[in-house]
Amino acid sequence: MKDLRHLIYFLGLEITHSTDGLHITQAKYASEFSSQAGLTNSKTVDTPVELNTHLTPSGWKPLPSPSLYRRLVGSLVYLTATRLNISYAIHRVSQHLSAPRSTHDATVLCILRHLKDTLFHGLFYYA
């Protein structure tokens, strides 16, 4: 085995070492898939989901091509490894992968706008 020194980037995880501990983020990963959704110049929001948002399996218009929605939700599920604050919102939108509606898509875009504002949030492990 070789000593490859400090780990910096691995599988979308960015690790920053300090004397106090490790800071783990997924900023590059989050910015890449938010640009895939076309949100590079959009406004940011303070919370991942608007207050009193009710996601139901019926109502609203079904998405004509749900593949982008499914891809974004899958990427967001992987992002919850370091972003525990969005876990509940991701859980709610992932319940509608089989038949997503326009309201579900709007919620995913709201989560992405929140991530754009908080790109460098993550986990900190004290040494």
Instruction: Output the pLDDT for position 1.
Output: 65
CA proximity to 111, closest of 57, 69, 66:
69
d(CA 19, CA 50): 38
Question: Each residue of 35-72: pLDDT tens digit?
Answer: 877 777 778 888 888 777 777 777 778 888 888 889 99
Question: pTM of the full predicted structure?
Answer: 0.85
Mean pLDDT over residues 90-114, rounded? Answer: 89
Q: What is the average pLDDT score of the chain?
A: 86
Looking at the chain, the whole-number percentage of residues with pLDDT higher than 70 is 99
- Least confident range from 17-26, 31-40, 87-96, 118-127: namely 31-40
- Band of pLDDT at residue 91, cut at 50, 70 and 90: very high
Domain range annotation of the chain: 9-41+60-126
Token look-up 């959704």 returns 37
d(CA 127, CA 108): 35
Proportion of the chain in helix, strand, coil states, percent, rounded to 5: 40, 15, 45
- Are the beta carbons of 59 and 101 closer than 8 angstroms? yes
- Which spans in the chain are helix H? 27-36, 67-79, 87-94, 102-117
- Band of pLDDT at residue 22, cut at 50, 70 and 90: very high
Mean pLDDT over residues 1-19, rounded? Answer: 85
